[in-house]
Structure 1
Amino acid sequence: MKKISYRDALRLAIHEEMARDSRVFIMGEDIEDPFGGSYKVTKGLSTEFGNKRVRNTPISELAIAGAAVGAAITGMRPIVEIMYLDFMTLSMDQIVNQAAKIRYMSGGKVKVPLVIRTQEGSGNSSGAQHGQCLEAWFAHIPGLKVVMPATPYDAKGLLKAAIRDDNPVVFIENKMLYSIKDVIPEEEYFVPIGKANVIREGTDVTIVSYSRMVHEALNAASDLMEKGISAEVIDLRTIAPLDLDTILKSISKTHRLVIAHEAVVNGGIGGEIAARVIEEGFDELDAPIIRVGSKEAPLPFSPILEKHIVSNAQDIVSAVEKVVYQLVGGE
């Protein structure tokens, strides 16, 4: 076992897969040495594998995604780095209309083994065009898998699983997680795509989250325990496909649900989770479901305003207290 950062866990996953399979290569803006990518995930890889397998690209997300789709359908296994999730708006046609559809439209004859790595989130005053959480857009598209790891262990295991998947995977990191550290096995391992993880057991309420908000949920659970409320915390790890079974199993024990994500509430993945729980597990609920998310506004550049806008552990605590003490939808 060794303790490494989220950033290093991602790099190690890429390194292992490139060493194992010559078809795996990575491309993106400024990913070659000495820069090594905007958050230094690819640092050192071009020095070891050369710039034919670690390729700097023009500043065109549409071109990057299009080239990657072409490489994937002709037998390569590309990893694409899009510097910010916000910039994927420039490549939506290639991702949504091409990568997500080709396997279906070819009757399964053409595979698209493509990983699109990007990052999102607030926390360092990135502003309204560099910190949006748009994961729900991609979860809405049949044919795309959407992975959002919260820990170094899951980051490595899920990225290796994504690289070996024969379908396009949107792999969304969070800029505030790159420096966190965790103990991971030295031997090879994988984390299955589409399987959530119960990371804290509890009896009074279920908190469902993913990516950076998992850590806020754990902080909230610790605060709630001091108030006599036992919270079970589920890390989804993957939002498409969604592991509803794990959520329903937890609700059958706690009978209350709070869903927390950094994205704004309106149109967020929390609404989909709530709807599906209502459809398949309504009888298990003893209180209304509450969604926690950022306020309905573009992300401010000002650190003070950013902190005011973005959801946090205290928001989760407040939501849990409402469902536990029946302060919404009941007496």
Structure 2
Amino acid sequence: MRSITYLKAINEALDEALANDACVFLLGEDIGVYGGGFGATQGLQEKYGKLRVRDTPISESAIAGVAVGSAMTGMRPVIELQFSDFITVAMDQLVNQAAKIHYMYSGKANVPLVMRTAAGSGTGAGAQHSQSLENWTAHIPGLKVIQPSDAYDAKGLLHAAIKDNNPVMFYEHKLLYKTIGRVPEESYSIPIGVADIKRSGKDITIIATGIMVSKALEAAEIVEKFGVSIEVIDPRTLVPLDHKTILTSVKKTQRVIIATEAVKSSGFGAELASIIAESKLVMNLKAPIVRLGGEFVPMPAQKLLETYAIPQVESIVEAIKQIIPEVEV
């Protein structure tokens, strides 16, 4: 199996989807001639033409509105919002239309659209281009929410999202685009709603999302030298969420750390913690659940301050030491 970047995996999934289904088309700002804000659609307009890879005006509400309408008539639009922050402009179309239509039409209408967007910090892009807002859409019944952490998952989950008959919010972390992973050349899908055990362990379960998965794996490598065995669970999809895999891991380790980049206050980490707290397992935990998340501040543009605003590998190692004090790193 060859190794490619996360960005290339996204590009391949879009290419294959366009080739395999005439109902699939792409639309978004600068996705055609320019190839997308981060290069995910590079070469696709040249290959499939301007009707299937459409550059749009700078209007997220219009992009989402076109996607909802075309999806209802049988098309499978994949929209790109250059930064996840811009979803705020399209919230009416996504939250009040896309998410509700199947229910309000008694199942007679579907809205099979995918919203792709670049999320998260790490590029010094400032407070309006560096947020992690996936928890917003995870709160809305009717939307599926996907957050792949590596190239293999990105390609497989994007294929699954495009084939799904529901609106899917697909969050790609900017810093993951250049990461490299082993990815099959052929088309494949990963089932939506199935978590992945990225690393097996017996002492502590770390449930991490997005960019935090790689940081959790790095922290696990560090503490392994001191005899601590870490299990890393990547939900991959926030909605639907794989409760079984999460609770099975917690039952084994009896210690939990939850790591997300999004602001900790009212974040998805609280949802994960409550699932454990409301289960029978809570009485058997050997330590309190630890949540790591972003500081309650707008994301700084200054690079050093930006790193202080979100959990780092060192933050996870400190959390491990908090749960197992005898660890001396």
Aligned to 2:313: 313
Deviates more, 1:315-324 or 1:14-23: 315-324
Aligned-partner residue type, residue 122 of structure 1: S
Aligned to 1:16: 16
Aligned to 1:284: 284
SS at the partner of 1:176? helix
Change (3 A) 1:326 1:245: farther
Aligned-partner residue type, residue 121 of structure 2: S
Matched ranges for 1:220-231 at <5 A:
220-231=219-230
Quick one: distance in 1 between partners of 2:258 and 2:324?
14
Aligned to 1:165: 164
**TM-fit CA distance, 1:131:** 0.3
Aligned to 2:87: 88
Alignment partner of 1:202 is 2:201: yes
Deviation sequence 1:298-331 (CA, Å, 0-9, x none): 110111111111211111111122122399xxxx
Contact 1:29–1:56 under 8 Å retained in 2 = yes
Aligned to 1:297: 297
Alignment partner of 1:129 is 2:113: no
Quick one: distance in 2 between partners of 1:284 and 1:198?
22
TM-score normalised by L of structure 1: 0.97
SS at the partner of 2:61? helix
Contact 1:200–1:234 under 8 Å retained in 2 = yes
Contact 2:263–2:296 under 8 Å retained in 1 = yes
SS at the partner of 1:25? strand
Aligned-partner residue type, residue 269 of structure 2: G
Contact 1:113–1:167 under 8 Å retained in 2 = yes
Quick one: distance in 1 between partners of 2:294 and 2:215?
13
Quick one: distance in 2 between partners of 1:21 and 1:156?
16
Contact 1:120–1:131 under 8 Å retained in 2 = yes
Aligned to 2:45: 46
Quick one: distance in 2 between partners of 1:227 and 1:300?
35
Contact 1:210–1:235 under 8 Å retained in 2 = yes
Matched ranges for 1:249-264 at <5 A:
249-264=248-263
Deviation sequence 1:55-88 (CA, Å, 0-9, x none): 0001000000001000000110000000101001
Contact 1:287–1:326 under 8 Å retained in 2 = no
Percent identical pairs in the alignment equals 50
Quick one: distance in 2 between partners of 1:295 and 1:210?
16
Contact 2:13–2:187 under 8 Å retained in 1 = no
Aligned to 2:28: 28
Change (3 A) 1:326 1:273: farther
Deviation sequence 1:143-174 (CA, Å, 0-9, x none): 00000001100000000000000000000000
Aligned-partner residue type, residue 45 of structure 1: L
SS at the partner of 2:65? helix
Deviates more, 1:69-78 or 1:272-281: 272-281
Segments of 5+ residues of structure 2 without an aligned counterpart are none
Aligned to 2:150: 151
Contact 1:251–1:284 under 8 Å retained in 2 = no
Quick one: distance in 2 between partners of 1:187 and 1:75?
26
Quick one: distance in 2 between partners of 1:87 and 1:270?
23
Contact 1:207–1:232 under 8 Å retained in 2 = yes
Quick one: distance in 2 between partners of 1:209 and 1:56?
35
Aligned-partner residue type, residue 306 of structure 1: E
Matched ranges for 1:55-94 at <5 A:
55-94=54-93
Deviates more, 1:162-171 or 1:191-200: 191-200
Segments of 5+ residues of structure 1 without an aligned counterpart are none
Quick one: distance in 2 between partners of 1:223 and 1:326?
15
Quick one: distance in 2 between partners of 1:169 and 1:142?
12
Matched ranges for 1:171-210 at <5 A:
171-210=170-209
Alignment partner of 1:243 is 2:217: no
SS at the partner of 2:205? strand
Quick one: distance in 1 between partners of 2:288 and 2:310?
23
Aligned-partner residue type, residue 57 of structure 2: P
Quick one: distance in 2 between partners of 1:283 and 1:50?
59
**TM-fit CA distance, 1:188:** 2.4
List 4+ stretches of structure 1 deviating above 2 A. Answer: 324-327
